[in-house]
Amino acid sequence: MTDHAGRAERISPGPARAAIPAWRRLQEGAGLLVILIVIVGGMALLSPHFLKPQNLLNLLLASSTMMMIAVFTTMLMIGGGLDLSVGAVAALTGIVIAQFQGTLGIWGAAGLGLVVALLMGLLNGVMVTYVGINAFITTLGSMSLARGLAFVLADGLTVPVYEESFAWLGEGVVLGIPVPVIASFILFILVWFVLRYTTYGRAMYAMGGNAEASHLAGLRVKRYRLLSYVLSGLSAGVAGVFLTSRLYAAAPQAAGDMQLSVIAAVVLGGTSMAGGKGAVLGTLVGVLILGALNNGMVLLSLSSDYQQIVQGVVLLLAVGLDQLRVGGLGRLVRGRAGD
């Protein structure tokens, strides 16, 4: 093993994460749980149907698509990245499945859809890491590209997709739990394990905290960051497969605001948009908060316009909280440096 490789193996989880005391991380997590409990309690008071077991399963099912993407977005943002194209890539995946199901079979078409999603993630990664274009601009452009391709391939129409074994992905139940919910929690556990126990996970924290220092420590920053974008695109593809299966159709306008919901959930869950800080457990709570709000508003028969307003407010609050956390962390680090 080379000296660089050895240093990469021993690298710490990142300066930003290490500087935060355990009591503060617990305080932030407890605050998120309190917010979730308050929202659940409020919705239960406003609607007698909210806490019924079937509705809670529906809440988890509706949140599963967001969860599949959000856990990988968490890892990407911890490493200092950003991906605005995930909703459009999910829609494009569904359209690819719909257009090629007749020639390749449903599973062949699903495989092709995942390859297309992976290639979109690879395009984002190459443009950001090797060409050096800003992540916001790059993924905004790829969002437009993916959405445009979806509309062109489908002629702007919703295309039916149904095959019994494929439909099981979206409507199947195992031990009373919907298959998409099980899949989303499997992905959650996988990303949690990677971030907590692997060199790649520690590298994401280090890169997000200080990419230049990580490079000097021997980390292959570009390669790791490229992989994070590929995984982000692939996760959007997986979500697109499950969404298409659940809806029995693919629509080019599907998952239109998914990227905003995902970013709101991730940032609300404690992941910093500046990178170097975050955890998928917080993202899980953030997804449940947004899911509870959306589900409650549907039960209260509020229009989609109000739902967009609430989503915008939550996103602004999440970004505001992130800025407060970053400011507090900066003061904490400066205080430690002055000791």
CA 227 – CA 26 distance, rounded (Å): 30
Contact 93, 244 (CB under 8 A): yes
Tell the residue number behind the tokens 């800025």, with chain if given. Answer: 323
Q: What is the pLDDT of residue 219?
A: 86
Q: What pLDDT shows up at residue 24?
A: 54
Q: What's the pTM value of the predicted model, to 2 decimals?
A: 0.85
Q: What is the pLDDT of residue 12?
A: 44
pLDDT band at 167 (very low <50, low <70, confident <90, very high): very high
Q: Compute the average pLDDT of residues 246-266.
A: 91
Length of the chain: 339
Residue 328, Cβ neighbours under 10 Å: how many?
12
CA distances to 18, 26, 28, 262, 277 from 23, in Å: 12, 5, 9, 27, 15
pLDDT tens-digit series, residues 272-294: 888 888 889 999 999 999 999 88
- Asked if pLDDT for residue 326 goes beyond 70, the answer is no
d(Cα 157, Cα 162) in Å, to the nearest integer?
Answer: 16
Mean pLDDT of the chain: 85
Tokens at 235, concatenated:
């996760």
pLDDT (mean) for 237-242: 96
Q: How far apart are CA 101 and CA 81, in angstroms?
A: 34
**pLDDT given for residue 140 in this prediction:** 95
What H or E segment, with its residue span, contains residue 159?
Answer: strand 159-160
Q: What pLDDT sits at residue 320?
A: 74
Asked whether the predicted pLDDT for residue 74 surpasses 90, the reply is yes
Of the chain, the percentage scoring pLDDT greater than 90 comes to: 60
CA neighbor of 196 nearest in space, from 110, 76, 75: 75
Q: How deeply is 250 buried, as exposed, middle or buried, from its count of CB atoms within 10 A (0-12, 13-18, 19+)?
A: buried
User: Residue 15 CB: number of other CB atoms within 10 A?
Assistant: 16
Domain 3-329 of CATH type 1.10.3470: yes
pLDDT in the model for residue 38: 87
CA-nearest of 287, 292, 61 to 178 is: 61
CA distance 50 to 295: 8
Pair 69, 86: CB distance under 8 Å: yes
CA distance 308 to 295: 13
Closest CA to 258 of 129, 19, 43, 87: 87
- In the block, residue with structure tokens 């959650």: 188
Alpha helix stretches (DSSP H) within 160-303: 164-171, 179-197, 199-209, 211-216, 221-247, 258-268, 280-299
Is the model's pLDDT at 339 over the cut of 90? no
Higher pLDDT, 29 or 272: 272
